[in-house]
Chains A and B, each alone.
Chain A
């Protein structure tokens, strides 16, 4: 089963606008990561935020984490057509009762940035 749920499932915006994607998860985590995927093949790591962090920036990306609400958001500012891709959140779980720190992905948000 999948731990994270991204929202919305699909998002279409104009170039220059900001894009916000949300992720909710269910169990305790060590960290939460965002990945990008083009054309259904390899995923590219974007940013990692640890459970004791609340906000992180990388270029045009801003990620927030609210562990009390078990949610995260990814903001892409000043979007470009090249940002068109699917975006996934992945949670690195806290091992409990013999479980592992496996990385579990959500279903993703498909972002389309129109030129």
Chain B
């Protein structure tokens, strides 16, 4: 596609449920980032992939959060046993390589009730 695509655009889930958020990066982009953004705050780094491997997952808040990118393209962010504090907009971005501009998707707004 022409840009980074994130699905779903909105997700409402009950506390304790499992959710998956999907990111389709721009074709050919090797770097992929996941961020979480709360109202009035900047994007908070979660995890960064270079190809299929997680180059840096230091931003994942705890072991309920996990992300994969098995073929070096599409990535899925997985959240187990969701909590109300997980409610935020989850942003995905891709870039051609390291140290180049990142292109963002429109985000998935996750609401845990």
Q: Which A residues lie at the B interface, using CB under 8 A?
A: 2, 4, 30-31, 33, 35, 40-45, 48, 88, 90, 92, 99-108
Contact = CB atoms under 8 A, between A and B. Distances in A.
B99 A31 contact: yes
A107 B101 CA distance: 19
24 contacts: A4-B42, A30-B98, A31-B99, A33-B101, A40-B39, A40-B89, A41-B89, A42-B91, A42-B104, A42-B106, A43-B43, A88-B43, A90-B102, A92-B99, A100-B48, A101-B55, A101-B99, A102-B55, A102-B59, A103-B48, A103-B102, A105-B35, A107-B42, A108-B41
What 8 A-B pairs come out closest when comparing CB atoms?
A100-B56, A105-B42, A45-B101, A107-B42, A42-B106, A101-B98, A43-B104, A42-B104
A101 to B, nearest CB: 4
Contacts of A102: 33, 45, 48, 55-56, 59
A40 to B, nearest CB: 6
